Amino acid sequence: MLNLRVRPALARVVDPVATALLRAGVSPDAITVAGTLGAVLGALVFFPQGMFFTGTAIVFFCVLTDLLDGAMARRLGRTSRFGAWLDSTCDRVADSAIFSGVALWYLGDGDSTLLGGVALFCLVAGSTVSYAKARAEGLGMTCDVGLAERAERLIVVLLGTLLVGLGLDGALPVCLWVLAAATAITVVQRLVEVRRQAALPLP
């Protein structure tokens, strides 16, 4: 129900911007790349310096370009395989930058090798979750199960960085540990699901 209410509200904001950009000759792919570059810069410039509020604000704004480029493509009335590939690839780049920025903070001024390692684990495990789905789909199977899809991972880590930026220093470690556990569970869930489907007789 919440999703049904939120989507129309977002569309009222995003659709006019999408229309204006298309009229100006901007392509959806350009928005995808620009949003990714912004997220990378926000995470890798500000997070390692401990400027979590500023970094989170920039990353959050840039992540929202996922909605914008999708709206632009819909208004054009066409999608492309390259656009879909570019969007997915840029998502992985942005995710890696976010967790790398957090890891750099903890391995530097944050002074916690353990939490730096947890952040790197989240990065690697998150990439494994995404790869498991892509590889399964490439083999003709589905792999949509799991606790920690990309949206959930982004929400948890950016909630942690935002709360640290607001002065709640213990929030990010908690979020990282929760995310590490949830992502590891998701990897196992996807392994089990693909194994189950692979064991089924071919139609």
Give the catalytic positions in this structure: 91
Q: How far apart (Å, rounded) are the C-alpha atoms in residues 78 and 170? A: 46
The b/e string for 158-184 (b: 16+ C-beta within 10 A; e otherwise) is: bbbbbbbbeeeeebbbebbeebbebbb
Please, which residues have CB within 8 angstroms of residue 41's CB and are 6 or more apart in sequence? 58
For residue 11 the two structure tokens come to 């569309």
3.40.50.1820, 1.10.3210.10, 3.20.20.140, 1.20.120.1760: which CATH number matches 2-198? 1.20.120.1760
The yes-or-no verdict on residue 36 having pLDDT over 80 is yes
- Report which residue type is found at 198: A
- pLDDT, tens digit, for every residue of 69-87? 878 888 777 677 888 889 8
Average pLDDT over residues 84-100: 92
User: Could you tell me the residue ranges of all domains in the chain?
Assistant: 2-198
